[in-house]
């Protein structure tokens, strides 16, 4: 009897010791991760509280995140001080149109590169990869020249048209389409479906996760862009929000509350959009770097 019970007790203590150590490690990791998350979220928290405080309370007590004097005046004042509503509208038009058009054009091109056999395909793909490596700043000067020759400075088309396709988008969609099985489209072809019909009815619906990821990327990039609108737009009422608010910072160095109220309004749509598609977007990003 003893010969059996001794090792049994031993295994049991070993197992509980291991489980206890595991729990301890997990607790430590959770605490560390909460501290790190606090650091990452601090600017957002600060923005939010600064936007509902009065200037006086902020300057008197800068060490706290808790507003002692609560006010929503900043949120109403911001619309009067700069063409905020107009700039918000510009941002929606710019980011929205670019996202819809570029996702469509990029997936068409990516689809062709992934699923068709034709001469020049490899060359086209190679050239695409090379353009991925070039910093876009290089093209600034001639890009500005083209836009100004077209008479597109301070226009929506000047902002939108150059962004309607991107090497990154085509690359992302190609990587997705190339992994789909060939049988599907062959079956449809034999049944006499046209290429456009195959793309629209069979392949496009299957590409939904990739389309969502690319759409989110495109929305974020354009909604958040600072430099591009700064180059193409000179008039305040044609600017998008990031450069619009940046100019506001230059003019009124000390009005933190106003600046932060504008920032909160500008950030909320992207945060909400991200939280909605969070799971599939993060998965889409994760698979980009795997192989």
Partner 1 sequence: MRILPAAERRPSTGLSGTKAWRVTSKTRQAFTAWMFIAPAGVIIAIFVFWTLFESLKTSFTDDSGFGSANWVGLANYAQLLSDPRFLNALANTLVYAAVVVPVSIVIALGLAVLLNRPNLPFRGFFRVAVFLPFVTSLGISSMAWWAMLNPHAGIIPAWFEIFGLSLGNGIQDPSLAMLFVMIVGVWRDVGFFMVMYLGGLQSIPKELRESAQIDGAGPWKSFWSITWPLLANTTMFVGIMALVFAFQAFDQIYIMTGGGPFFRTETLVLYIFSTAVERYQLGYASAISWVLVLLVFVVSLFQVGYFSKRTVQY
Indicate whether 19 belongs to the interface with partner 1 (CB under 8 A). no
Of positions 24, 41, 129, 200, contacts partner 1 by CB under 8 A: 41
Indicate whether 92 belongs to the interface with partner 1 (CB under 8 A). no
Least distance between partner 1 and beta carbon 169 (Å): 8
Least distance between partner 1 and beta carbon 125 (Å): 11
CA–CA dist 157, 163 (Å, integer): 10
The tally of CA atoms less than 13 A away on the side-chain side of residue 116 is 16
Indicate whether 226 belongs to the interface with partner 1 (CB under 8 A). yes
Q: Is 233 exposed, middle or buried (0-12, 13-18, 19+ CB in 10 A)?
A: buried
Indicate whether 170 belongs to the interface with partner 1 (CB under 8 A). yes
For the record, the structure tokens of 141 come out as 């000067």
Coil, strand, or helix at residue 70? strand
Instruction: Compute the Cα dihedral for 226, 228, 231, 235 and give only its sign.
Output: negative
Least distance between partner 1 and beta carbon 17 (Å): 16
Of positions 88, 109, 207, 233, contacts partner 1 by CB under 8 A: 109
Of positions 14, 43, 72, 200, contacts partner 1 by CB under 8 A: 43
Indicate whether 222 belongs to the interface with partner 1 (CB under 8 A). no
Least distance between partner 1 and beta carbon 72 (Å): 19
For the record, the structure tokens of 179 come out as 């992994």
For the record, the structure tokens of 27 come out as 């607790």
- Which residue number, 68 or 278, has a Cβ lying nearer to partner 1? 278
What are the beta bridge partners of residue 3? none
Indicate whether 154 belongs to the interface with partner 1 (CB under 8 A). no
Q: Which residues between 47 and 76 bind partner 1 (CB under 8 A)?
A: 47, 50, 58-59, 62-65
Indicate whether 29 belongs to the interface with partner 1 (CB under 8 A). yes
Nearest to 114 by CA among 188, 31, 204: 204
Which H, E and C letters describe 200-214, residue by residue? HHHHHHHCHHHHHHH
- Which residue number, 6 or 197, has a Cβ lying nearer to partner 1? 197
Indicate whether 227 belongs to the interface with partner 1 (CB under 8 A). yes
Q: Which stretch binds partner 1 (CB under 8 A): 12-20, 66-74, 189-197, 205-213?
A: 189-197
Of positions 94, 214, 242, 261, contacts partner 1 by CB under 8 A: 242
CB 284 within 8 A of CB 212: yes
Where would I find the beta strands (DSSP E) of the chain?
Answer: none
Coil, strand, or helix at residue 53? strand
What are the beta bridge partners of residue 70? 53
CA–CA dist 198, 288 (Å, integer): 26
Instruction: Compute the Cα dihedral for 169, 171, 172, 177 and give only its sign.
Output: positive
Indicate whether 113 belongs to the interface with partner 1 (CB under 8 A). yes
Indicate whether 256 belongs to the interface with partner 1 (CB under 8 A). yes
Least distance between partner 1 and beta carbon 1 (Å): 31
- Which residue number, 167 or 180, has a Cβ lying nearer to partner 1? 167
Indicate whether 4 belongs to the interface with partner 1 (CB under 8 A). no
Of positions 10, 14, 140, 252, contacts partner 1 by CB under 8 A: 140
């Amino acid at each position: 009897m003893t010969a059996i019970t001794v090792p049994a007790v031993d295994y049991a203590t070993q197992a509980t010791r291991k489980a206890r150590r595991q729990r301890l490690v997990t607790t430590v990791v959770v605490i560390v991760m909460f501290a790190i998350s606090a650091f990452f979220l601090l600017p957002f928290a600060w923005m939010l509280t600064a936007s509902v405080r009065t200037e006086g309370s902020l300057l008197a007590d800068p060490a706290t995140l808790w507003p002692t004097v609560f006010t929503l005046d900043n949120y109403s004042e911001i619309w009067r001080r700069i063409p905020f509503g107009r700039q918000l509208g510009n941002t929606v038009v710019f980011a929205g149109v670019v996202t819809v058009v570029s996702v469509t054009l990029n997936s068409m091109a990516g689809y062709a590169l992934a699923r068709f056999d034709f001469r020049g395909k490899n060359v086209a793909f190679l050239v695409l990869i090379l353009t991925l490596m070039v910093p876009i700043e290089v093209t600034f000067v001639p890009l500005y020249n083209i836009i100004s020759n077209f008479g597109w400075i301070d226009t929506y088309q000047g902002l939108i048209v150059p962004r309607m396709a991107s090497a990154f988008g085509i690359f992302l969609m190609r990587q997705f389409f190339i992994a789909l099985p060939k049988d599907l489209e062959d079956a449809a072809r034999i049944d006499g479906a046209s290429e456009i019909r195959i793309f629209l009815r069979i392949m496009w619906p299957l590409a939904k996760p990739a389309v969502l990821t690319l759409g989110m990327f495109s929305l974020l990039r354009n909604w958040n862009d600072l430099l591009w609108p700064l180059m193409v737009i000179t008039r305040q009422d044609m600017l998008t929000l990031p450069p619009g608010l940046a100019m506001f910072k230059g003019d009124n160095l000390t009005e933190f509350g106003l600046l932060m109220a504008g920032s909160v309004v500008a950030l909320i749509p992207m945060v909400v959009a991200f939280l909605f598609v969070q799971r599939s977007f993060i998965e889409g990003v994760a698979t980009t770097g795997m192989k």
